[in-house]
Structure formats: C-alpha cells, structure tokens
A and B are shown apart, each in its own frame.
Chain A
Amino acid sequence: MDTSTNGAKPLVEMKDISIAFGGIRAVDHASLELYPGEVVGLLGHNGAGKSTLIKILSGAYQRDHGEIYIKGEKAEINNPRDAKRYGIETIYQTLALADNVDAAANLFLGRELKTKWGTLDDAAMEAAAREVMGRLNPNFRRFKEPVKKLSGGQRQSVAIARAIHFNANILIMDEPTAALGPQETKQVADLTLQLKKTGIGIFLISHDIHDVFELSDRVSVMKNGRIVGTAKVKDVTKDEVLGMIILGKCPPGAIPGPGALQS
C-alpha cells in the first residue's frame, strides 16, 4: 500500500535518523517523508521522541546517524541558520520569542532588514510586520510593545507570521496550540489549512489526536524513539491510532515501522 502522494517528489525525507542523549536513544532509526501541500501529523506520548526528531530537522539538535534530503537533495543541517536556508521554519510549543523586544524585532530576529548604512531599518521592519500581521490577525495593534505584554494567541501569531513572511516551504509546528485558548486554537487551525493550500509542507506535532485528525493528511506515530507506523488519515480510525500510540500495535491500514509491535 502506497501512503505517499502519488508520483510527486517528497519535500523532505528524513532517513534512518538516530540521536542519543547519554545512554538514552531518544530517536532510534526513524524515517519520515513530507510532500508539498501536505500536513503530516506526528503523534506519540510525551518522551516518544517526536519533538526530538523534528528538532533535528529544524537544526536545534544534531543527529548522530541518518540523512536528510530536501527536495531530493542531501541537506546539511547543523544549526537553526542552516535549516532556515532550506526554507524550514519552526513554531515551537514554548513560543520561542524574545519577550523583551517588540513584534517586528521578533519577526525579523536573525534576518533584520538594514538601511543602506547597514543599520537596522526599524521603520521598514515595522511596516512589513504590520502587513503580515494584518493578514493573520487584523485586530493586532500593539506593535510598539514588548511581546511579553501580548496574549498567548497574539504571541503565536507573531511566530506564525515569521514563517509566512519568509516564505517557508517547510513548516514545523511543535504543539502550536498547547499554550492557547479554544478560540485561538481555532485560529491556528484555520491558518494551518490556509498555509497548506499554498503548497507548504507541514509537520504538525501534537498529542491531541482530534487536532491531528482534523488537520492532517497522514499521521506517523512514535513510541520509545521509534516509528510505530505511518498511515493516511482516511485509512485508519482514531481508536486504531490510539492503539498505535499506547500499545505500538500497527493496524492493517498503516505501513508498519521499526517500532511496531511484532505479533
């Protein structure tokens, strides 16, 4: 059974990735693929290794073993700067923002707009921030305030704005709604679908199975650092996926991975 989008070239291929912290194999020979215009949900318990695996793609961790291909070409990703060069943007569950500076400064952090003198062009950055935030969250007005004064949803929209402004073609969302209320969660979900339509490939990490079923095309389940299996959402039920998460039991609708329970 073929779970991939027929014929298209994968945007991201992570092959046989391993990483260990001390003696613990946080990720153990895991492989993942992502196609353009697709949302892949990555599920698993806390500590299953899903965040770790994805942080290898975003450059926050360096893998011990395995290879990453972006658009079919081997990619060297050793730090977050490398990942950004490949068009990989990440939205973290911890809302990784510098609290003491404003929205525009966060949006452009690491990639500031400069004047012809080489100094910061704050006015241009604020203008760009107003433009992109206007698309995401038209009610947002607090451009002059440090982001610590913003609500969780507003902060998350700053993080998402970063991905949109820099034309990410691969977006990683690590528990993007963990810190948000119901209404803001809905906003992020709408945004995810909107981004997907533009042809971006999205990894969605969550432990909320309902979220994942609503937004994803495929799901991959991890347990103890290994991939239990990967399936198209329409081929499996929520109960089957729960079985994968809890027991590591791979249902018939899924392609089993190295972590699947051997029967």
Chain B
Amino acid sequence: MSSTTDSQAGPAMVQEGAIQRFLRATELDTRLLGMIAALILIWVGFQLIGQWRTGEGVFLTSRNLWNLMVQTSVIAVMSTGMVLIIVMRHIDLSVGSMLSFIGVVAGVTQVYWLAPMLGAEHPAIWIIALLVAIVMGAVLGAFNGYLVAYAGIPSFIVTLGGLIVYNGAAWAVIRGETVAPMNQTFELIGGTPRGSWIGGVASWGLGGLACLAILWAILASRTARRRFQFPQRPVWAEVFLAILGCCLVLGVVYVLNSAYWPPGVVTRYAREANIAIPPEGLNFSKGFSYPMLIALGVGLVMTFMATRTAFGRYIYAIGGNPEAAELAGVNTRWITLCMFSLMGVLTAVAACISAARLDAASNSLGQFDELYVIAATVIGGTSLAGGVGTIYGAMLGALLMQSLQSGMTLLNVDAAYKDMVVGSVLVLAVYLDLVFRRKSS
C-alpha cells in the first residue's frame, strides 16, 4: 500500500507523505495532538508572561503543576461522564447543583448525623459518607434519566429543571450555612492535608506499573490481531508508541515527585517524629495525590467502559443513529437511564472531592460547574451533534480550562476578565476544530 503511494508521490509531496504515513502507522489521533500542542502553548505562554511581568515564572514549577492537577480533578471526573451523555445526543445541565446538593448531604451526614452517633473520627464515617453520596448520585441521576428516556422529556429541560431543583434542595438542607469540618479521613480525598498524597516511592512504583500496562496493552493488541491475521502496525510504530507512552508516564511522575511537602507540614511532621531539620531543609516528595488518582482511575474505568464493553458501544451507536440502534435491538431507553445514573455517580465522586478539598460543605460548592464540565467536554473534541467524543479528550479539555484559570490567577488577573477569557477560549476552540475538520475532510 505505502509503496504504491511512494512511487506516485512527486518530490514536493514526499515530506507531507511522511507525516501522514507516520500518523497512519501510529494511529495517533490528530485532534489529541492538537490539544496537547495547545496545552503546551498555554503553559509556556503563562511561564513567559509571568517571567516578563514579575521576573519570575511560576507556572512551570512542579508545585504549580501539582496544584493544577489537583484542581482539575473535580471537573475531569465529571467530564468523563458528560462526554458520553453528549455523545448520546443529550446534555446534563444539573451536575453543578447536584454536586452542591450531594456535597451538602455528605457533609451533614458526617457532621450532624454520624459524628454525634459514632464520634467525629470513627473509621467508618468516611465510608458511610461516601456511600451515601454515591447512592444519592445514582438515584438522582437515574431519576433524570427516567424522565428523559421513559417520559420522553428533552434532557435539556429535565436537567435545566434539575439545576434549579437541586440548587433549592441544597439550600433547604443547610440554609446557606457552612458545615465543617469534615472527617479527617474523608478530607484526604481532597488532596490538601498530609497523607492525601502517596509519596515519591509509591509514585515511582505506580508509574512503573503504568509502563508495564502500556507494554502489555500493545503486545495484547498485536497478539489479538495476529490471531485473525489482520494487518499489523509496523514494529517501529509500536516501539515508538511504547517509548512515548512510558516517557510521558515517567515524566508526569517526575514532575509530581519534584513537588515537595509544604514547609509547615514538614515542620509539624519533624516535631511529631522528633527529627531535627537539617539546615538545607527536608524535602519529601508528594507524588500522586488522592484526587489525581481518583480522576485517573475514573478516566481509565470510563475509557474501558466506553471502548471495551457493549454498554459503551451502544452509547456511541445511539449517538450515531438512535433509530438504527433501537431497530438493531438495543434497549436505548435503559441505556439512557443507566448513563444518566452513571453521570450522577460521577457527580457524587466529584462532590466528595470538592467538599473534602474545601474541608467544608456549603451551598457554593459546584456553582457553575455544569458549565465548566460542558466546556471541558466540548474543548476536548466532543460534538454536540452526538456520536463523537473521547474521554481522554474531555479530561485534557478540563486540564486546559483549569490551566487558563490558574495561569491567570497567578498573574493576578481580575476575576471578571478571567471569565471573559475562558468563555472566549471555549468558542475559539470549537471554531478552530471546525476549521480544521473542514480542511481535513
């Protein structure tokens, strides 16, 4: 195949042909590459602007990148579900206020209900609170899904109603007060206190495991294709992908491990453990924090579900042609209900991270999150027309949005202008994607 294109291509075409051949051989998603390029551009841009304005760029420090990942996790978790909702030609506008409602209930459960009953630091509290949140998310989501799938009300209306209702419900529960503090174990989910990161050694271990998983996945796909004698990817492309994947993983671990414990935490730890702090200081690596691990884990599970299970296949098929899916025998209503319920569960996970991070539950939790989640999803290449979208794209979209936000915060940009920039970037990203796709097709 490639030999015939070679002989036909003129000298001017050779260069372009090589790039295209490279992309075809590695099967890399060009949209993904575009997003990564945009991300690098934004990161380097903020670093340079910071250097120019204050003489010291802080954006590309491991401390900031570590924070960035923690901050991204809430939106990233929810965006993995929103992709699939939008792929199915639906929308969920209620996730922000549902987050608020669930967060508030999880807070009240711990502080007003379980703490007096079991004592504030009983080991079961965080589990019960988490379970309450997740069950609640599943039920509220399923209710949304029922109204959409079986009552036939458009999802825009159902979830717009839900946005208002859950917001009201959250107010009804705590009337605007702040419920604090959270259970200390529960708090670890948020990634703020000591103990909510796993440290350098464990992070390297995890990175190593991830590299092994990448190698295994590449080998497994080769074996499966050989079993049926399908055409294989060229070996050099496989090796390239393996090296790229492993370098990426180890690079992330390196950056996260270069983020050290905050000085206050180190001092307290040294006092507790009776260690004298040497004059050059004690540097303990933070490594992965729990919210990052939760977000990465959710991303993996959701990607697996979307690409390797019948449920995921049905979601994409429904998005491509709902009628055809129904006629092919897919129970489209049930799938729709389940997907909304799953969105509720993800919202519950995000609610726990949010409340734990704030160490409090209040009505301001999750405010406008639905908009950020949808924006992240759309920036990540999900088409609102349905049928198209990837989970890694949405998570990268969430990282991109959070990068803009925290980059501007570091530069002391007024909150009002921040919102204006973020909104414009959303529209610009979709426009660029349109232009790019029109050119490529």
A106 to B330, CA, bound (A): 11
Number of interface residues of B (CB under 8 A): 29
A90-118 to B contact mask, C-beta < 8 Å, 1/0: 10101011111100011001111010001
Q: Would you give the shortest CB distance from A150 to chain B, in whole angstroms?
A: 13
B228 to A109, Cβ gap below 8 A? no
- Judged by a CB distance under 8 angstroms, whether A191 is at the interface is no
- Judged by a CB distance under 8 angstroms, whether B274 is at the interface is no
B305-321 to A contact mask, C-beta < 8 Å, 1/0: 00111100110111111
Determine which of A110, A130, A146 lies in contact with B328 in the assembled complex, contact meaning CB atoms within 8 Å: A110
A130 to B231, CA, bound (A): 13
Q: Would you give the shortest CB distance from B251 to chain A, in whole angstroms?
A: 30
Closest to B388 in A: A100
Closest to B318 in A: A98
Q: Would you give the shortest CB distance from B178 to chain A, in whole angstroms?
A: 45
A101 to B313, Cβ gap below 8 A? yes
B71-121, CB < 8 A from A: none
Residue among A58, A79, A98 with the most chain B CB within 10 A?
A: A98
A84 to B320, Cβ gap below 8 A? no
B271-287 to A contact mask, C-beta < 8 Å, 1/0: 00000000000000000
Chain-B contact segment, one of A120-128, A228-236, A254-262:
A120-128
Q: Which B residues are CB-close (under 8 A) to A58?
A: 327
A97 to B317, CA, bound (A): 8
- Judged by a CB distance under 8 angstroms, whether A152 is at the interface is no
A138-174 to B contact mask, C-beta < 8 Å, 1/0: 0000000010000000000000000000000000000
A13 to B309, CA, bound (A): 38
B311-368, CB < 8 A from A: 313-314, 316-321, 323-331
A124 to B327, CA, bound (A): 23
B329 to A127, Cβ gap below 8 A? no
A98 to B316, Cβ gap below 8 A? yes
Determine which of B227, B314, B318 lies in contact with A123 in the assembled complex, contact meaning CB atoms within 8 Å: B227
Closest to B229 in A: A127
B308 to A101, Cβ gap below 8 A? no
- Judged by a CB distance under 8 angstroms, whether A135 is at the interface is no
**Known interface pairs A80-B326, A109-B330, A110-B330; A120-B309 also in contact (CB < 8 Å):** yes
**Known interface pairs A96-B328, A110-B330; A126-B228 also in contact (CB < 8 Å):** yes
**Known interface pairs A119-B309, A123-B230; A97-B321 also in contact (CB < 8 Å):** yes
Determine which of A84, A96, A109, A123 lies in contact with B224 in the assembled complex, contact meaning CB atoms within 8 Å: A123
- Judged by a CB distance under 8 angstroms, whether A136 is at the interface is no
- Judged by a CB distance under 8 angstroms, whether A189 is at the interface is no
B313 to A119, Cβ gap below 8 A? no
- Judged by a CB distance under 8 angstroms, whether A60 is at the interface is yes
A119 to B310, CA, bound (A): 7
B313 to A123, Cβ gap below 8 A? no
B327 to A81, Cβ gap below 8 A? no
Number of interface residues of A (CB under 8 A): 32
B317 to A80, Cβ gap below 8 A? no
A95 to B388, CA, bound (A): 20
B227-264 to A contact mask, C-beta < 8 Å, 1/0: 11010000000000000000000000000000000000
Q: Which A residues are CB-close (under 8 A) to B407?
A: none
Q: Which B residues are CB-close (under 8 A) to A127?
A: 228, 230
B309 to A96, Cβ gap below 8 A? no
B228 to A124, Cβ gap below 8 A? yes
- Judged by a CB distance under 8 angstroms, whether B387 is at the interface is yes
Residue among B308, B324, B388 with the most chain A CB within 10 A?
A: B324
Closest to B310 in A: A112
Q: Is chain B's binding surface mostly helix, strand, loop or mixed?
A: helix
A99 to B325, CA, bound (A): 10
B324 to A97, Cβ gap below 8 A? yes
**Known interface pairs A119-B308, A123-B224, A123-B230; A105-B317 also in contact (CB < 8 Å):** yes
Closest to A82 in B: B329
Q: Which A residues are CB-close (under 8 A) to B326?
A: 60, 80
Q: Which B residues are CB-close (under 8 A) to A96?
A: 321, 323-324, 327-328
Determine which of A94, A100, A111, A114 lies in contact with B329 in the assembled complex, contact meaning CB atoms within 8 Å: A111
- Judged by a CB distance under 8 angstroms, whether B194 is at the interface is no
A119 to B306, CA, bound (A): 11
A58 to B329, CA, bound (A): 10
**Known interface pairs A123-B228, A126-B230; A92-B327 also in contact (CB < 8 Å):** yes
A118 to B321, CA, bound (A): 25
Q: Which B residues are CB-close (under 8 A) to A94?
A: 323
Q: Which B residues are CB-close (under 8 A) to A79?
A: 329
B310 to A101, Cβ gap below 8 A? no
Q: Would you give the shortest CB distance from A176 to chain B, in whole angstroms?
A: 15
A100 to B322, CA, bound (A): 11
Q: Which A residues are CB-close (under 8 A) to B227?
A: 123
Q: Would you give the shortest CB distance from B123 to chain A, in whole angstroms?
A: 34
Q: Which A residues are CB-close (under 8 A) to B309?
A: 118-120
B373-392, CB < 8 A from A: 387-388
Q: What 14 new A-B contacts, CB under 8 Å, besides A98-B318, A101-B320?
A: A80-B326, A96-B328, A99-B387, A100-B316, A100-B319, A100-B388, A101-B317, A106-B317, A112-B310, A118-B309, A119-B309, A122-B224, A123-B230, A126-B228
Jot down 13 A-B pairs with beta carbons below 8 A, ordered by A: A80-B329, A81-B329, A81-B331, A96-B321, A100-B317, A100-B320, A106-B317, A109-B313, A109-B314, A114-B310, A119-B309, A120-B310, A126-B230
- Nearest 9 CB-CB pairings of A with B: A110-B329, A100-B320, A98-B320, A100-B387, A96-B324, A98-B317, A109-B328, A127-B228, A81-B329
Q: Which of A's residues lie within 8 Å of B, judged by CB? A: 58, 60, 79-81, 84, 90, 92, 94, 96-101, 105-106, 109-112, 114, 118-120, 122-124, 126-127, 130, 146
